[in-house]
A = this chain, B = another copy of it.
């Protein structure tokens, strides 16, 4: 039977016990009985020397899929601890797309020396994939696939698939190409199976074939697979010749990584902190201090704006009391608007051409939000201060909220138009800018209306 949740929970202890024994038998039994992702999760919790021993003592056939599921920094550290032959065996046993990901994650020197120890055939295949731009579809595709041709009979096609099943990562969907490799159509393995042996592939195939070129962004590959509900997407060159395939499980990893990147950018954390659990203190410090220092500098201007209105503060102390409420409301409304747009841009719900329409809608929404919040602060102002002060802070609130909302809504579009990642419009950045402009609007209105 399959391992239970309790077995999986205890897997680190089970592994540790097996690693402390002299014989490799129990270790092999564990490796065969558990799914690779569970084994890699368990190994990540063990001390590094035990994780390394696991890969030293097991055959590559069982160890490679486990290695493929380790987090990138664990992969690099294990590889560095193995001797040259062990490392080469392990990497050669990976599927090509996984091997590329591993080598990609190493420093240049280490990558070069590892490449030299690989068999000539793997060297060439890995090298050609590494030639594609970073984060492109070409980098995550695998060139291990089989295709059939339209003029073949079902019988010929099935024979071809049987003969080539070992080189192909998936054959659930089979692509149909010309003899020269030009992508024409796709056919389900199921359909070949159910057809009569003398039928032609051309009678069964579907010509509505989605594809992507190798130079396009891997995120676009993820969108296309998700949009068309595919299990596998063919990758082609500019002339439409097939180069490889991208499978849905690779794409789920891409989407998860890109989404995490968006989350972190939105909170002004630098890139590449993909696992909080494994990140070192030094890495976390470096990824966070940059934006914090930049924002300190931005907030100097907020200080200057307040200092500029020192006289106004001294004559009407109620103004400083309501300041945090007004400024925070502007920042909060702006963060809401920015988050809505950034997420909608990320999932293609909204595109750049929608900017004006959505800006118009946000003007309506933020007017309503601003009026509600102005009413709330007017009531408190009237209760705590005077009618004149209440009118001034209510108008200030309204203007700051509308400004915050419009800034939060339009900044991500502006970044997109400049071909930058809209997620750079982080909540802290937006809040800081709204702080400064908000202080100027708030005191400017107060000075004008109260005649200070």
Contacts and interface: CB of A to CB of B under 8 A. Distances in A.
A289 interface: yes
Nearest to A34: B208
B37 A340 contact: no
Interface in A285-329: 285, 288-289, 291-293, 295-296, 299-300, 302-304, 306-307, 310, 313-314, 317, 320-325, 328-329
Given A300-B380, A335-B267, A431 B328 contact: yes
Contact of A325 (B190, B210, B303, B342): B303
A273 interface: yes
B332 A260 contact: no
Interface in A196-222: 207-211
A341 B231 contact: no
Copies in the complex: 2
A365 B324 contact: no
A208 B3 contact: yes
Contacts of A253: 226
A189 interface: yes
Interface in A324-368: 324-325, 328-329, 331-333, 335-336, 338-344, 347, 349-350, 354, 358, 361, 364-365, 368
29 contacts: A2-B210, A35-B228, A37-B227, A161-B193, A172-B231, A260-B347, A263-B263, A264-B340, A266-B267, A266-B339, A269-B340, A276-B340, A276-B341, A276-B349, A276-B358, A277-B350, A281-B368, A284-B340, A293-B376, A295-B332, A302-B328, A303-B320, A303-B323, A306-B324, A324-B435, A324-B439, A331-B428, A427-B427, A431-B431
Contact of A340 (B273, B329, B431): B273
State the majority secondary structure of interface residues on A: helix
Interface residues of A, number: 109
Contacts of A344: 275-277
Contacts of A230: 249
A153 interface: no
A293 B277 CA distance: 35
A335 B189 CA distance: 49
Interface of A: 1-3, 33-35, 37, 158, 161-162, 165, 171-172, 189-190, 193-194, 207-211, 226-231, 248-249, 252-253, 255-256, 259-260, 262-264, 266-269, 273, 275-277, 281, 284-285, 288-289, 291-293, 295-296, 299-300, 302-304, 306-307, 310, 313-314, 317, 320-325, 328-329, 331-333, 335-336, 338-344, 347, 349-350, 354, 358, 361, 364-365, 368-369, 372-373, 376-377, 380, 427-428, 431-432, 435, 439
Nearest to A249: B229
Contacts of A284: 340, 361, 365
Contacts of A303: 320-325
Given A210-B2, A432-B328, A336 B288 contact: yes
Given A172-B190, A231-B248, A255-B255, 9 more contacts: A248-B252, A252-B255, A263-B342, A264-B339, A275-B349, A288-B333, A293-B372, A303-B325, A310-B320
A1 B256 CA distance: 33
Contacts of A172: 172, 189-190, 231
A299 B288 CA distance: 26
B331 A431 contact: yes
Contact of A208 (B35, B252, B347, B431): B35
Contacts of A431: 328, 331, 431
A171 to B, nearest CB: 6
A341 B307 CA distance: 37
A289 B33 contact: no
Nearest to A429: B332
Contacts of A210: 2, 35
A295 B34 contact: no
Given A350-B276, A358-B276, A373 B263 contact: no
Contacts of A262: 263
Contact of A354 (B277, B296, B335, B364): B277
